[in-house]
A and B are shown apart, each in its own frame.
Chain A
Amino acid sequence: MTKEISKDDQDWLDALSGKSPAGIDPFNSAQALAVRKALVARRNAIERDAISVGGSGLDEIRARLQREGLMEPAEPGQLKTGWWHRVKEVLGVGSVGRGMNVAPIWGVAATLVLAALVTFQIYDPQPDEASIYRGGPNTTTLIVENPELRANEIVAGIEKLSSDGVEIVRLKDGSIQLKIKDSQRVQDYLLAQRIEAIPVEGMIRIDVVPKRK
């Protein structure tokens, strides 16, 4: 049987979620705010650190798992971990010589959930869907199988250059808008990602849109 929680606890939880409960105890409020800041900072730090899939550390672990018989040996081409390989993985296009993989559902699901866990979420009013798919003349639109994953990769790369350089807006249809502060380094990075940046008044906007089924 559950019981009602106290006003103090309810106020604290409300303050944790960013609300300002009426009549909240000042200490309770200060503590909730400090915990809120700590949670956000911790999550952002982990997100920044979680981007290095494909680094030598992962290769070493994979090799050890295979040596110890805990993981099947890779097929030719499976271990490529560049950006194009990862896009192909998410799109379900297999490694060289294997053709299309019909249902990499578990892998995509795991990646999707992970991406959701490590992404700082901002909820915002939703713009007109039609404008997203049209894309404005000043917007770069990426149509991908997994917007969460792709946006996450871009954000991680940008945040390496500037910790507050990108704003993320999630749309109800699964699209993600990225508003990025323009700089030469940012443009270089995006070019390396094969993304043509269109700076307008110091900002670059990229819409990452889900591929329609």
Chain B
Amino acid sequence: MITAIKSGGRQQELALQALYRKAAEFRRHFQYKGLSIQVTDDLIQETIVKIFRSASSYSGGSGFGDSSANAWMWTIAKNVMNDHLRGKKTDEVSIDDEELGEASRSALEVELANKNPHKAAGQTAQDCVTKGLEEFAAAHPDRHRALEMQLDGEDIASIGRRIGRTAAAAKEFLSQCKKKLAPFIEHCTALLQQ
């Protein structure tokens, strides 16, 4: 996709359409964060413009299926949202990807999730896990994608090929995905045990 964006012409137009569809993921995340539809649409536009603007400097692999390109686009989307939130809030919490370590970022993401206005006191275990997964998907888009492959019952060798690892390494990666997901849903434990 990044290559298509850089190539111009007809391919660039198709890449824009594909990117606009992918932006549904970002839109969901922005709205989950409590942003209005109007603001969300503005941020989607900003995200896509930034992706186009930065495409020439992207040095990772190309193609929509490339995991690092996926993570790169997610980083842009989250930074656009964070820039917007910084402008709106005085008691802001920075989750700038450039400045934080992964653990700190995950903790802040969870903190933000807990502050989410959509959080209901009487939520079900499923609601709780759904919200946690939403945060996880934004924080670790590639790991989320790998869990989707597992969800689909994809063969471990096939998952390995898609994420550029051996079958054994892919299995270990999936196991690590479970561990990375844990902090995002550990507050659901009591609800799940019920």
Question: Contacts A38-B130, A41-B130 given: A113-B188 contact, CB under 8 Å?
Answer: no
Overall SS of chain B's interface: helix
Given A18-B153, A49-B27, A106-B11, A58 contacting B130 (CB threshold 8 A): no
Contact A107 B178 (CB under 8 A): no
Look across to chain A and name the residue whose beta carbon is closest to the beta carbon of B2.
Answer: A110
Give B73 Cβ to nearest chain A Cβ, in Å: 12
Q: Whole-angstrom distance from the CB of A102 to the nearest CB of chain B?
A: 11
Cβ contact within 8 Å between B151 and A17: yes
Total contacting residues, chain A, CB less than 8 A? 61
**B148 at interface, CB cutoff 8 A:** yes
Question: B137 to A35, Cβ gap below 8 A?
Answer: no
**Which residues on A sit within 8 Å (CB–CB) of B20?**
52-53, 57-58, 61
Quick check: B172 and A5 within 8 Å, CB to CB? yes
Q: Which residues of B contact A10 (CB under 8 A)?
A: 175
Q: For the complex, is B100 an interface residue (Cβ under 8 Å from A)? A: no
A27 to B14: give the CA distance in the assembly, Å.
Answer: 45
| Majority SS at the chain A contact face | helix
Residues of A within 8 A of B27 (CB): 49
User: For the complex, is B169 an interface residue (Cβ under 8 Å from A)?
Assistant: yes
Contact present for B13 and A58 (CB under 8 Å): no
**Smallest CB-CB A-B distances: 10 pairs:** A107-B14, A50-B24, A5-B175, A49-B24, A34-B129, A38-B130, A50-B21, A9-B175, A38-B133, A70-B52
| A42-B134, A47-B24 known, 11 other contacts, Cβ within 8 Å | A34-B125, A34-B126, A49-B24, A50-B22, A70-B52, A71-B13, A104-B10, A104-B14, A106-B7, A107-B4, A117-B64
